Amino acid sequence: MITKKGGLVWSILGVVVIPLIGFLIFAPNSKGIDRYFEDQHFHYETIRVVAHAPYGGADIGEVFAVIRNIREGDLEDWYREWYRMAAMVEAKARAYQDPIGKGQGLMRSQNYYRNAEFYLDPEDERRKDTFTRSAQNFREALQLLSVEYEEFDVPYENSELRAIYYPSNHPQSNSRPLVIAHGGYDSTLEELYFWIVAPALERGYSVLTFSGPGQGSVIRKQGLTFTPEWEKPTGAVIDAFLHKYSKPPNMVLMGLSMGGLLAPRAAAYDERIDGVIAFDAMYDFQSTLFYGIPEFQRGIVRWLYENEFESVLGMILALRARLDVGTRWGLQNGQWTLGFEKPEEIFDAFAPYHLREAAGEVRADVLLLWGEDDHFMDTKQLSDMQTSLVNARSVTTKTYNMEEGGHEHCQTGILSSVHADMFGWIAEKFPD
């Protein structure tokens, strides 16, 4: 039984005290979130999908429906939930009568399949399924969305690379540079559509994309591992293109992520490349390994490496791989795409990938893109590139910060702004 006095107390609590507590707890200090996961690698790979939304690579609600069921650091959760969404979106798309809706659905599903595969062991049989579905849905989506493209093989060292040419129907496209693009340590030929192809076609530029050694179908089907002499696969692609199509007035080469090192390397030794975009700038691939190690351990690990304590180094890396998603993925992907076996061999495998000699040979116009809080690289990568490009026709740097949302690796999350800067630079350096 509640007395009048007790009722009065509860009334005061209900009307005054409890709302006041709620206001103090939630209203003044409450903020939105700026991360999808606490783990930086899960967070970044989620942003990477979201970033493709402007060009049909994701729907935000679908992304949230995926990640709400993924536990921090759980790689099986990651595969299962992204695959579930990819399959569901594909099934819905195939039931549509509307070709645009069907094409858009298949385009999103291919990106979700790609992300489902991301953390799988290279030997995992499920990779064949995810990659095949992603590739097939992508090409079917292009046809349904009336995106013109021509795919062809590129002869290369008794094997072949893979290239896709997207011709622009803009009336001035023949007087504009051909944009050539490739990825880096993990991107696929299909994903390049969101990074560069769609925004280029919007602006009337024809685009040539390719997978080189260590990338996409080339590592999966041809078994070709990366080469530090990136001018060789790039040159082979340009040769094959010029054998089939007329020579463009200029050629601008864009490399994504690790491609920010590979593209300048190719431009250093192929004078046909008139402009090069490092998206992001990368000068020394091996240094990214040390930067990825907690700061208090870097000196020890470097000392062990330089003094050839390989077995100890291998044990440290194996332990970190068990505790850290990024280390595990980096080692597995490196063993696969660079062709080494033991964890400790990763440092030597990365060592040839640098621009110490090549940077001075670049004579093209250069655009360096940079995020101020790149979790893969420190600012020395940018400054070393800036000071080493001594013979480039011009060097332009675009830096992005947290305030504008572009601080992540490859400015993932503000691609519309980056594309505006990138194509503004192309138009300035290579006017019609």
| Domains with residue ranges and CATH for the chain | 40-133 (1.20.1440.110), 150-284+353-429 (3.40.50.1820), 288-350 (no CATH)
CA–CA distance, 225 with 336 (Å, rounded to integer): 8
Burial class (CB within 10 angstroms; exposed 0-12, middle 13-18, buried 19+) of 98 = exposed
Question: What percentage of residues in the chain have a pLDDT greater than 90?
Answer: 82
Q: Over the stretch 159-206, which tens digit does the pLDDT of each residue have?
A: 999 999 999 999 999 999 999 999 999 989 999 999 999 999 999 999
3-state secondary structure of 277: strand
Question: How far apart, in Å, do the first and last CA atoms of the chain sit?
Answer: 86
Burial class (CB within 10 angstroms; exposed 0-12, middle 13-18, buried 19+) of 198 = buried
- 375 pLDDT band, cuts 50/70/90, is confident
CA–CA distance, 409 with 375 (Å, rounded to integer): 7
- 297 pLDDT band, cuts 50/70/90, is confident
- 29 pLDDT band, cuts 50/70/90, is low
pTM of the model: 0.91
Is it the case that residue 149 has pLDDT exceeding 80?
A: yes
Is it the case that residue 350 has pLDDT exceeding 70?
A: yes
- 12 pLDDT band, cuts 50/70/90, is very low
Residues 6 or more apart whose Cβ sits within 8 Å of residue 26 = none
Per 3-state DSSP, the chain is made up of helix, strand and coil in percentages (nearest 5) of 55, 10, 35
pLDDT at 9: 46
Helices (H) then strands (E): counts for the chain: 19, 8
pLDDT at 432: 86
Of the candidates 370, 192, 214, the residue with the CA atom closest to the CA atom of residue 277: 370
